[in-house]
């Protein structure tokens, strides 16, 4: 008499029994219990194991936003250290080095077969170049603002970027935002005003550079979010335009532009005369700034590719408070009632925005669907 055919049940492919020191399965069906031998099967769902890759895939926006905040904080601190602590007077040359290191890392990785980036082509350059011009202007104005202002004030004043960005998002993209976002924006603006009241009369040049930086940064985030979709369509046949390709285009196209700035500001005449250039500590900081520059280029583009321009701008504000505190301590900026109040108001703004973002937007009415907070 032929044996009964067994009905297969879901089994683990290679689950190791740590206590018994034996395998549950060896490439086939698992060991069957007495009930299973008699044909009584109770289907059990396999336990899902949360891996790092699974977490990152399901929380892409959170992971990208966190990475962007960490890299943004690190970049500001390292640049401030390089420009102020070592009295380095050639910010454009430092920016050129950072972009060159990013290009070198990308092409070296591609040569070893680790990654693949979209080759430079005129049809993509024509679409991407305006974003690249804004990128260079954004980093360039940030350098000059950092030379005149302390880190705490720079990070607080950056909150004005959010006001410009959200207005642009409404005007150009027709977005609508809930009251919590506007409350966050009000608190961030109040934080910026409180911070600026400390030394506006003494650092007018620095504040003007920072205001220009806010305008350029908002323009960059608004335009780049649009141009990403256009470039993706152009590169569809070659597999798409991923974040690494964006980093490659951003940095490669920046090199000739920054070189023009170096010549225009005559930094090429004084670069070799900078005492900091001959200190190994400064050279180390410069290389580290290049590595962080590559990381922040990738993280910012990664985050912007999976969210809106306004959320990108507001999320960047979440790192302003720890950065301001670190800046006050590290660079010996004297705490005052005004800048302390600015930090506390900014902290409250970050908490409000975090609460707004954590709420699930109802989707059961058409009117609620018009409210956007991605």
Domain ranges within the chain, ordered by starting residue: 60-358
Mean pLDDT for 14-34 is 45
Mean pLDDT for 53-76 is 77
pLDDT at 294: 92
Give the 3-state secondary structure of residue 23: strand
Nearest to 286 by CA among 298, 300, 270, 274: 274
Contact 294, 247 (CB under 8 A): yes
pLDDT at 41: 44
Report residue 77 as tokens: 């601190």
Residue 275: pLDDT band with limits 50, 70, 90: very high
| Residue matched to tokens 């900026």 | 333
> Burial level of 26, CB count in 10 A (0-12/13-18/19+)?
exposed
CB atoms within 10 A of CB 229: 10
Nearest to 188 by CA among 210, 209, 161, 168: 161
CB atoms within 10 A of CB 372: 18
Of 173-182, 241-250, 310-319, the poorest mean pLDDT is in 310-319
Of 66-70, 111-115, 308-312, the poorest mean pLDDT is in 308-312
Q: What is the DSSP string of 92-134?
A: HHHHHHHHHHHHHHHHHHHHTTS---PPP-HHHHHHHHHHHHH
Residue 80: pLDDT band with limits 50, 70, 90: confident
CA torsion sign for 305, 311, 313, 314 is negative
Per-residue CA distances from 98 to 136, 283, 287 (Å): 12, 12, 8
Say which residues have a Cβ less than 8 Å from residue 275's Cβ, sequence separation at least 6.
87
Of residues 24 and 176, more confidence is placed in 176
pLDDT at 205: 83
DSSP, res 82:
I
Structure confidence by residue, pLDDT tens digits, 230-259: 887 777 666 667 888 889 998 999 999 999
Contact 299, 68 (CB under 8 A): yes
Per-residue CA distances from 208 to 146, 196, 204, 371 (Å): 12, 11, 6, 34
Evaluate if residue 22 carries a pLDDT over 60: no
Separation of alpha carbons 172 and 190, rounded Å = 25
pLDDT at 47: 47
Of residues 351 and 272, more confidence is placed in 272
Mean pLDDT for 265-294 is 92
Give the 3-state secondary structure of residue 22: strand
Residue 332: pLDDT band with limits 50, 70, 90: low
Separation of alpha carbons 315 and 331, rounded Å = 25
Mean pLDDT for 9-29 is 44
Radius of gyration of the chain (CA): 26
Residue 199: pLDDT band with limits 50, 70, 90: low
Mean pLDDT for 203-230 is 86
């Amino acid at each position: 008499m032929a044996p009964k055919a067994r009905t297969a049940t879901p089994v683990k492919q290679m689950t190791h029994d740590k206590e018994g020191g034996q395998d549950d399965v060896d490439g086939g069906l698992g060991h069957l219990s007495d009930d299973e031998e008699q044909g009584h099967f109770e289907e059990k769902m396999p336990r899902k194991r949360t891996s790092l890759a699974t977490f990152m895939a399901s929380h892409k926006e959170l992971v990208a936003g966190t990475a962007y905040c960490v890299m943004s904080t690190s970049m500001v601190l390292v640049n401030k250290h390089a420009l102020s602590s070592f009295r380095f007077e050639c910010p454009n040359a430092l920016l050129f080095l950072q972009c060159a290191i990013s290009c070198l890392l990308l092409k070296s990785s591609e040569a070893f077969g680790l990654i693949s980036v979209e080759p430079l082509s005129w049809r993509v350059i024509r679409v991407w170049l305006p974003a690249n011009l804004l990128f260079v202007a954004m980093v360039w104005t940030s350098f000059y603002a950092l030379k005149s202002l302390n880190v705490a004030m720079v990070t607080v004043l950056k909150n004005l970027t959010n006001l410009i960005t959200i207005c642009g998002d409404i005007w150009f993209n027709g977005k609508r935002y809930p009251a919590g976002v506007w409350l966050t924006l009000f608190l961030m603006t109040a934080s910026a005003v409180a911070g600026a009241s400390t030394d506006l009369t003494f650092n007018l040049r620095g504040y003007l550079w920072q205001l220009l930086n806010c305008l350029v940064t908002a323009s960059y985030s608004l335009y780049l979010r649009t141009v990403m979709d256009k470039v993706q369509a152009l590169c569809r046949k070659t597999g798409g335009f991923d974040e690494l390709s964006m980093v490659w285009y951003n940095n490669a196209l920046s090199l000739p532009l920054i070189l023009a700035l170096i010549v225009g500001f005559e930094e090429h005449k004084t670069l070799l005369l900078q005492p900091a250039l001959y200190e190994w500590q400064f050279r180390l900081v410069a290389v580290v700034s290049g590595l962080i520059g590559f990381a922040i280029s990738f993280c910012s583009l990664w985050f912007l590719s999976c969210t809106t321009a306004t959320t990108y701008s507001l999320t960047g504000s979440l790192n302003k408070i720890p950065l301001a505190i670190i800046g006050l301590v590290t660079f010996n900026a004297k705490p005052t009632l005004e800048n302390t109040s600015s930090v506390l108001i900014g902290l409250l703004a970050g908490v409000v925005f975090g609460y707004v973002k954590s709420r699930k937007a109802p989707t059961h009415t058409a009117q609620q669907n018009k409210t956007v907070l991605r």
